[in-house]
Structure 1
């Protein structure tokens, strides 16, 4: 049984990675319904939260049906991160996660995210500040290092475990790699094999199929897998992996009806969270992903992104089922 503090996650948990503009409450809801064991919010800016910025505060929204769920924080100032840990803890998530892995320029170049891989002492101080400011378990997500010459995640794992983090998720690329090339899990395996390391180690990067999930579990010995981009338009990947790990058999491709029903559920959660106007607008970025590979889908996609109400969207989804019912995807 894999545990983070007192949170029991099963024998081989599957985690939804925190993704900006993706892993909001509606998307987390459909991932939970399709087998995700632990999910994280989009990353929350400590500077925005300390200023009470609306966008940052809204990212603290969590719901009972998605538990266990963690709030992920990022920032460059030690004291601010500590204060924000206290603020985030008040909404009662199951854990607090710190982002030391985001590679994008406007985060890393401000001294946050993966930039902390260049200053391990500051990373340690920041993590201590977050731990001291919350009663909740604290976890960390990071990368192998800043670049090929500074793959220091082994040191990071030991030092952060020593000060009290309860789990570590590692993306198998450096910051310089961004999302290019293949993720290297060999260093993640070395950390898992380190006799000093007793906390759960979760691997992240390039897992996009049940076969790869099982292969990586067996080859690298990780306690669980965190999945990001492969969940977009494909939240049922969690159940597919669980079925394959348990039985050795692949589930068939998601049916047309499943795609449409999941898309509709996503839309319903979006409207419930953001209201009938913003909820419809927020969903527009997801339709292409749900129906990727459908021949001649553009007319339907245009209708979906131009629709203004749930009823319009629901009618279009019914038409999609009728139109593609003879096609197997």
Structure 2
């Protein structure tokens, strides 16, 4: 059983990655129902939290059905991160997570996210201060390095473990790669196989099928896998991976009726949580994947992403099985 501190998260846990504008409560709800063992919030700006910015504070919303859950924070100022960690702890998650991996320019080039990989002493000091500040276990998500010439992930792991983090998730790309190219899991395996590392190590990057999840578990020996983009519009991937690892069989893909049911549930929660205008807007990124493989789906997708009426979107979704039948490929 893998544990983060005293929190049991499964024999081989599948984690939902924190994704900006994706990993909100509505999305987390459908992922949890479909097998995610541990989930994280979208990353939350430490400066936004300490200034009580509405968008940042709203991201602290968590629900009992999501547990265990981690709240992820990011920032470049140690004192702000300390204060933000305290604010996040008041929302009562199981875990406080630190983002040392975001590659986006406006984050990384200010020394936050993956930017802190260029200053490992500061990274260690910031982490130590957060660990001392909160009572919840602290975890970290990071990347291999800033670029190929700065891959020091084993040193990073030791520094972070030394100051008290309870688990480390590693995305197998550098900041320079962004999300391009193939994720390199060899350095992740080196961290996991380091005899001096005793915290759980989770691998992240390019896991998009049950077969690949099993292959990477066996090849790289990680304690669990974090899944990001492959879950967008396809929360079934978690249970599909679990079933394949247990039986060696591929689960039948969700039916069109099931895809519609989950998409409508997701939409309804999105509207409830964010209001109609924003809820409709932020659902648009999910429809392509919910209905991937349907022939001649473009006209329906256009209606879904252009409509500003909840009723129209919901009615369009509910008509999909009648319009397309079982034409999944």
TM range (shorter): over 0.9
Count of paired positions? 329
1:297 Cα deviation from its structure 2 partner: 1.4
Supply the distance in 2 between the matched residues of 1:99 and 1:259 (Cα, whole angstroms). 32
After superposition, give the CA deviation of every residue in 1:133-175 in whole Å (9 maximum; x if it has no partner): 2110000000111111111110010111111000000001111
After superposition, give the CA deviation of every residue in 1:33-84 in whole Å (9 maximum; x if it has no partner): 1100000011001111111111111111111111111010100001110010
SS in 2 for 1:286: helix
Deviating runs (4+, > 4 A) in structure 1? none
Q: Which residue of 1 aligns with 2:20?
A: 20
Q: Which residue of 2 aligns with 1:73?
A: 73
SS in 1 for 2:305: helix
SS in 1 for 2:15: strand
Supply the distance in 1 between the matched residues of 2:202 and 2:305 (Cα, whole angstroms). 36
Gaps of 5+ in 1: none
TM-score by structure 1 length? Answer: 0.97
After superposition, give the CA deviation of every residue in 1:220-266 in whole Å (9 maximum; x if it has no partner): 00000001111111111000000000000001222211211110110
Supply the distance in 2 between the matched residues of 1:151 and 1:20 (Cα, whole angstroms). 25
1:95 Cα deviation from its structure 2 partner: 0.5
For the Cα contact (< 8 Å) 2:16–2:39, is it kept in 1? yes
Supply the distance in 2 between the matched residues of 1:205 and 1:80 (Cα, whole angstroms). 29
Q: Which residue of 1 aligns with 2:224?
A: 224
For the Cα contact (< 8 Å) 2:256–2:326, is it kept in 1? no
Residue 108, structure 1, aligned to residue 108, structure 2:
yes
Q: Which residue of 2 aligns with 1:188?
A: 188
For the Cα contact (< 8 Å) 2:295–2:328, is it kept in 1? no
TM-score by structure 2 length? Answer: 0.97
Q: Which residue of 2 aligns with 1:42?
A: 42
For the Cα contact (< 8 Å) 2:50–2:84, is it kept in 1? yes
Supply the distance in 1 between the matched residues of 2:165 and 2:132 (Cα, whole angstroms). 11
Distance 1:241 1:326, change over 3 A: closer
Q: Which residue of 2 aligns with 1:269?
A: 269
Gaps of 5+ in 2: none
1:307 Cα deviation from its structure 2 partner: 3.6
Q: Which residue of 2 aligns with 1:90?
A: 90
Indicate the RMSD between aligned Cα atoms, in angstroms: 1.2
Residue 9, structure 1, aligned to residue 17, structure 2:
no
